[in-house]
Structure 1
Amino acid sequence: MTEQPVYSTLGFSDEEWGLLTGLPLAVLTAASAAESDGTRRTLAESAAGLEAVAGGREGASPLVTAVAQEVVSRAGDPEAGEELPLVAPQDPEAYIADVLHRSGAAAALLRDRVDEGEAGAYAHWLVGIAEQVVTAAPSGGMLGIGGDRVTEPERRFRDELSKALRD
């Protein structure tokens, strides 16, 4: 007897599971791309985002735990010192719009498939990832001194993400 994939036991198709497992890193990338930063700041944002993704493995939500485990198994475990490669979308605005669209699709999928608590936990986790990324490194200033902790474009992305996910 062959084992069923995790997504199947949770009631999702392969395509649906791809949507759910693809969003955490997409949110991380979009949150980082919301404000053009230097390499050092982008690295700090990426590390903070990967920590937030990995943190989902320890939550109370079976859905978030399963998604986080899948993402970390593919992307790397920050506890093992692994880092994400830097990803800079060619067109940040289009990338952000796509992530927001996919987030809305994931929210609709979860409203139809899981209870409100599971859907809310997933949405809250994604917004938390965005929050960790946008607060990881101040933008502007000189030599890391001064600048805005969260810029208007970063705040706007985080708020639009929350709205798309209904968090």
Structure 2
Amino acid sequence: MTEQPVYSTLGFSDEEWGLLTGLPLAVLTAASAAESDGTRRTLAESAAGLEAVAAGREGASQLVAAVSREVVTRAGDPETGEELPLISPEDPAAYIADVLDQAGQASALLRAKVDAGEAGAYAHWLVGIAEQVVTAAPSGGMLGIGGDLVTEPERRFRDQLSKVLRD
């Protein structure tokens, strides 16, 4: 007997699972792209985001834990020192708009398919990933001193994500 894929046992199609598992890294990238930073800051944001993604494996939500395990399997485990490649969207504003659209689709999907607790846990986890990324490295300032911990574009993305996900 063959084992069913995790997404199937949770009641999702392959396409739906692709949306749910693709969104955490897309949120990480969009949060980082919200403010143009140097390589060092972007690396810090990426590392913080991957840590937040991986932390979902330990959560109480069965859905978040399953999605997190899948993402870490594909992207790499920060606990073993793996890092994400730096991704810089050519058009950050369009990328962010697309990620927010995908988040809206995921939110509607989850409201239709899982209980409110699981849907809320997933939304909260995604907003937490964005929060970890935007607070990972201050922007502006001189030689890492001063600057804003969270800039207005970063705050706007995080807040829009929260609104779209109803978190």
Q: TM-score range by the shorter chain?
A: over 0.9
Written as runs of structure 1 = structure 2, the 5 A alignment for 1:103-122 is 103-122=103-122
Q: Distance in 2 between matches of 1:2 and 1:58?
A: 27
What SS does structure 2 have at the residue aligned with 1:66? helix
Q: What is aligned with 2:63?
A: 63
What SS does structure 1 have at the residue aligned with 2:45? helix
Written as runs of structure 1 = structure 2, the 5 A alignment for 1:16-165 is 16-165=16-165
What SS does structure 2 have at the residue aligned with 1:83? coil
- Structure 1 segments, 4+ long, off by >2 Å, are none
Structure 1 unaligned regions, length at least 5: none
Q: Distance in 1 between matches of 2:4 and 2:153?
A: 42
The percent of aligned pairs where both chains have the same amino acid is: 87
* TM-score normalised per structure 1: 1.00
Give the total of aligned pairs: 167
Q: Distance in 1 between matches of 2:26 and 2:139?
A: 21
For the aligned residue pairs, the C-alpha RMSD in angstroms reads 0.2
What SS does structure 2 have at the residue aligned with 1:139? coil
Q: Distance in 2 between matches of 1:107 and 1:145?
A: 38
* TM-score normalised per structure 2: 1.00
Structure 2 unaligned regions, length at least 5: none
What SS does structure 1 have at the residue aligned with 2:60? coil
| Deviation, structure 1 residue 137 | 0.1
Q: Deviations over 1:45-85 (max 9, x none)?
A: 00000000000000000000000000000000000000000
What SS does structure 1 have at the residue aligned with 2:143? coil
Aligned AA for 2:11?
Answer: G
